[in-house]
Amino acid sequence: MSQTIPTSLASSSPSPADSYFAEAVPGGREGAVRQGTVSVLHIINGQHFAGAERVQVHLGRCLPSEGFRADFACLTPGRFLEQCPRDESEVFAVPMRSRYDLGVAGRILAAVGSRRYQLLHAHTPRSAMVAARIAKRLDVPWIYHVHSPTANDSSRWLQNQLNYWVERWSLRSAAHLITVSNSLRKQMIAEGWAADRVSVVANGVPAIRPPRQQIPTPGGRWVLGMVALMRPRKGLEVALRALVELRKRELDVRLRCIGPFETAEYEASIRRLISELGLEDAVELSGFASDVPAALAELDAMVLPSLYGEGMPMVVLEAMAAGLPVVATRVEGTPEAIRHGRDGLLAEPNSPQSLAEQLRLLVEGEYDWQALSESAVRRHAEQFSDRAMAHHTAGVYRRVV
């Protein structure tokens, strides 16, 4: 059974991002929908509240100022329903009965009733499959948002391949693709998409910089944080082994893991590894945080040691907005956000030694914490605001509608 949840999505201040999006949205009918509000239905999973879900919430909150109303249909209702603010949008919880339950399309149409949507926007292979079906029945165009490389999205090879082929089959009827990074755009073009049908719209987050009690001192105690949906591709094992290397140098460094685990089995394996490495006193598993900026304000640096599968990590952008230096890996879209040595530091993926070395340089003061912090804040304001993301998404909508 479906349920409708009114959803409030309040706005935040705009900031420019034109330079990053120079190749993102080729010319189109920019003024075509200025006169009225166009309704867009986002088809989403909704089980978690990770990067893609944060994108969806920020779009729903900011798109009305661009002339678009965003509603959401959740196929796997979960944390999205809990975390989505309430007011301007509606959220329809219409669970799929199985991974390939195409009958959910009819149930979504029944749930939305007489509401008229001029455009659909899907965000995952599962939601693409459903959106293609609904778009055909409504005779409206639909857009697909590529958040990460589907064929390399998890450690489960068979699931990746199934998702990849479901995505390719579904996208035959898509009007346009939005990718969150230039690296993903190049990948989709290499897979056969025409360049003028793929637009880059970088992820964006609000300019929230909570006050800090203090800044870390070189050689003192540092609390590193890893904010993520904890799953194998995020590289938590690499971070733990890098922590061992730092402790060998007698550096007082702790790691706080903020976010839920994808599965209980993976959490159990991480707890065993923490014990094997003798890190019980240096690692805190703090679970899900609803207020990410507040959690970031309690850290001295953020670490994101992803192995693969990152389009444009939202938590990196949130850390930049908060003025928190980030040490991440050179994976897909991450280097498009962080300029090494200016806004943060970049290590090689799947290398505890490389990660430990970049962390050491920061902890021992060879990079100035304050300079990295201020540069990250400026770069966020110029390139990665929530308003910029909504503005350029609306540009794609105008082209398609």
SS3 340: strand
Domain ranges of the chain: 3-204+385-400, 222-383
Q: Choose between 9 and 118: higher pLDDT.
A: 118
Q: What is the mean pLDDT of residues 19-45?
A: 58
Tell me the pLDDT tens digit for each residue of 89-122.
899 999 999 888 889 999 999 999 989 999 999 9
Say whether 222-383 and 3-204+385-400 share the same fold: yes
Single pTM value for the model: 0.81
On the question of pLDDT at 8 being above 90, the answer is no
CA distances from 40 to 107, 129, 309 (A): 18, 17, 28
State the amino acid at position 329 in one-letter form: T
Q: 88 with 57: CB under 8 angstroms? A: no
CATH of domain 3-204+385-400: 3.40.50.2000
Tell me the pLDDT tens digit for each residue of 140-179.
999 999 998 775 665 666 777 787 788 889 899 999 999 9
For the chain, give the mean pLDDT.
Answer: 86
On the question of pLDDT at 24 being above 90, the answer is no
Of 325, 329, 361, whose CA–CA distance to 343 is shortest?
325
On the question of pLDDT at 49 being above 60, the answer is yes
Q: Specify the pLDDT at position 188.
A: 92
Residue 328 tokens, joined: 């991440």
- CATH of 222-383 given 3.40.50.150, 3.40.50.2000, 3.90.79.10, 3.90.550.10: 3.40.50.2000
Q: Choose between 227 and 51: higher pLDDT.
A: 227
Tell me the pLDDT tens digit for each residue of 362-391.
999 999 999 999 999 999 999 999 999 999
Helix axes 236-248, 264-276, angle to 10 degrees: 10
